[in-house]
Amino acid sequence: MSTTSLESAPAADTATPAARTYLVKTLGCQMNVHDSEHMAGMLEQAGYVAADAAHAAAEDADVIVINTCAVRENAADKLYGNLGRLAGTKRARPGMQIAVGGCLAQKDRAGIVERAPWVDVVFGTHNLDVLPALLERARHNAAAQVEIEESLQVFPSTLPTRRESVYAGWVSISVGCNNTCTFCIVPHLRGKERDRRPGEILAEVEALVATGAIEVTLLGQNVNSYGVGFGDRGAFAKLLRAVGAVEGLERVRFTSPHPAAFTDDVIEAMAATPTVMPQLHMPLQSGSDRILRAMRRSYRADRFLGILERVRAAMPQAAITTDIIVGFPGETDEDFEETLRVVEAARFSSAFTFQYSQRPGTPAADLPDQLPKAVVQERYERLVALQERISLEENQAQVGRTVQVLVAEGEGRKDGETHRVTGRAADNRLVHLALPPAAAADVLPRPGDLVTVVVTHGAPHHLVADSATLPGGVFHVRRTTAGDAWAARQAGSDEHGHGGGAGADGCGTAPGPVSLGIPVIPAR
C-alpha cells in the first residue's frame, strides 16, 4: 500500500467559510415589523449573520429581504423603487440574493418576478417559515422561487425570532381579520382571524421579560376581537389583566382595536391594571356616518366619541391616537365637514392621516364617484392643519407634568446635536430629554432605562423635557433589567465586531430589522 509522507501532503484548508450576511427591510404596519423579526430569526437559525450597521446602511449584504405592505399605494411604489436600485447592487455583487415577502408578495405573487426578474425569492404572509429553504433552492437551481400559500401553514409566533429591541417586544395574540372594510385588502391577504391560546401568549411574554424586556405590545389586526376563536367575548380584557400581572413587566400596550368591538370591560381592565399604559390607538377612518356605512365600519360617530369619553373618564391622562382616510369614494363636502367635527371633538394627541387610493381587489376600488386628486388633496391639507393645531395644543398642555420616559435607541434623529436622549412617556408621547450638565457616566440613562423628568416644551409631534438643565430640576434615572440587557448586547456586538446574531430567544447582538422610514400604518 502506498503512503504519502506528511512533508509531501498538501496542507489542509482549515479556514471556515464566512457566514452569509442578511438585511431585512420592513414596509408597513407593526404586524410586518414583527414578521420581519421572525424572518431574521429564521435566517440566523439557518446560519446567516446580520449585516452590521455600516453594511446595512450601504445595503451591502449577501441576502436582502424586503417585507412588503399592500395597504397603501405608495408602499408598492416604494418596493419597486427599492428593487430598481438593488438591481445595480446585485450586478456588482456576485451571489447576492433578493427576497420579497409580506402582503404585496401575497397579492402580486409571480408578478413581482415578472416586473423585477432579478428577484430570487417571493413568499407570502402564510408561509414565512420557508424563507431559508427558498433561498437555498434558488441558489441551487439558479432560478427564482415563488411560493405562496392560501392559508396559514405555521403560526408565526412559533418561529425563531430575532427581536429588534431587547427592552420592548411585540407579541402577536391573533392573526387575520374577520371584518369586511371596503377599503382594506388585509383580510384577503392575512386570512380569517386565528387566536392564540392565552397560555401561549403568557409564556411568550414571560420569556421576553426573562431576557430583559420591560414593555410588550400585544398585536392583532383587531386586537380586541381576541377570543372569537374560542367563544369568549371577554377574553381580551382577561388577557390584559393577566399579561399586566407578569412579574417584572412594567408597560403593556396593544394595537389596534376596532371601535365596533370595543367594550367597557376592556376600559375597566386598562384602568385597573397599573402596567397597562394610558394610551389608546382607535381608528376612526371617517366622521361621517354615511361614509362609515359605505366603508362597512360597523359603528357610528357618536358611538366612537362615546368610547373616547368613557376611556378618559377612567383614565384622565390617556393619549388617544387614530387613523383617518380622506377622499373615500362619494365623500361630499358635508361628509368631510363631519370628519372635521369629530376630530375637533375627539382631541386626538396625533393622527395617521391618509388620502384614499384605489387598491385593486378591494370593493371600494370599484365604487362610483372616485374623487379628483385636487379635491382629496385640498381636504387632506385642511385635516392635517386641524390635527396639527390640536396636537400642538394637547402637547402644550403637558408642560409642567412629571413624566417617566422609557429611553429608546435611535428615535431622536437630532439627539447628538441637541445633547438629548429620546424615549416614550407612559402615554406613548415622544419625549426628547436633556441630560444634566457634566453628568457622571453612572447616571446617564441607557436604552431601556426609565428616566423621570418634567416637560418644559410641547411641539405638535413631540415633547421636550429639559428639567435636568434647570436649577433643582427633576432628573432621576432608574436602572432596569432592560437597560442591563441592552448594555450586554452592545458589549457582545463590540466583542464580536460583526454583531454576532441571535437565535430564537431574540437575545443576539446584531442590528434588528431595518425600517424603510415610511409612515407606520397601524394594524387595523
Q: So what's the pLDDT on residue 494?
A: 53
Q: Is 69 annotated as a binding residue?
A: yes
SS3 state of residue 167 = coil
Q: Where are the beta strands (DSSP E) in 173-233?
A: 174-175, 194-195, 215-219
Q: So what's the pLDDT on residue 348?
A: 98
**How big is the chain, counted in residues?**
524
Residue 380 contacts residue 437 (beta carbons within 8 Å): no
Instruction: Give dist(CA 486, CA 215) in Å, integer.
Output: 13
CB contact set of 67 (below 8 Å; sequence gap of 6+): 24, 25, 26, 27, 28, 32, 35, 36, 39, 101, 102, 513
Residue 470: Cβ within 10 Å count: 12
Q: So what's the pLDDT on residue 30?
A: 74
- pLDDT mean by block of 10 residues, the chain; 524 residues: 37 64 86 84 92 91 91 77 93 94 87 94 88 94 90 71 85 88 80 89 95 94 90 95 98 95 96 98 98 96 98 98 97 98 98 90 90 97 98 98 95 79 97 86 87 98 96 95 93 54 35 36 38
Q: State the fold for domain 401-491.
A: OB fold (Dihydrolipoamide Acetyltransferase, E2P) (2.40.50)
Nearest partner of 221 among 71, 73, 355, 371, judged by Cα = 71
Intrachain domains 21-147 and 401-491 with the same fold: no
73 vs 134, 276, 356, CA distance in Å? 27, 34, 9
Q: So what's the pLDDT on residue 180?
A: 87
For 481, the grid coordinates are: 433589567
Q: Is 177 annotated as a binding residue?
A: yes
Segment holding 146, helix H or strand E? strand 145-147
Residue 173 contacts residue 195 (beta carbons within 8 Å): yes
Report CA torsion sign: 24, 27, 33, 36.
Answer: negative
CATH numeric code, 21-147: 3.40.50.12160
Instruction: Give dist(CA 221, CA 103) in Å, integer.
Output: 13
CATH numeric code, 156-397: 3.80.30.20
Q: So what's the pLDDT on residue 8?
A: 37
Q: So what's the pLDDT on residue 389?
A: 98
Residue carrying C-alpha cell 446567516: 48
Instruction: Give dist(CA 444, CA 25) in Å, integer.
Output: 31
For 135, the grid coordinates are: 433561498
Q: So what's the pLDDT on residue 442?
A: 67
Instruction: Give dist(CA 229, CA 245) in Å, integer.
Output: 24
Domain boundaries along the sequence of the chain? 21-147, 156-397, 401-491
Q: Say if residue 204 is exposed, middle or buried (CB neighbours under 10 Å; 0-12, 13-18, 19+).
A: buried
Q: Is 507 annotated as a binding residue?
A: no
DSSP 505: T
pTM: 0.81
SS3 state of residue 256 = coil
Residue 389: Cβ within 10 Å count: 12
Residue 491: Cβ within 10 Å count: 11
Segment holding 51, helix H or strand E? none
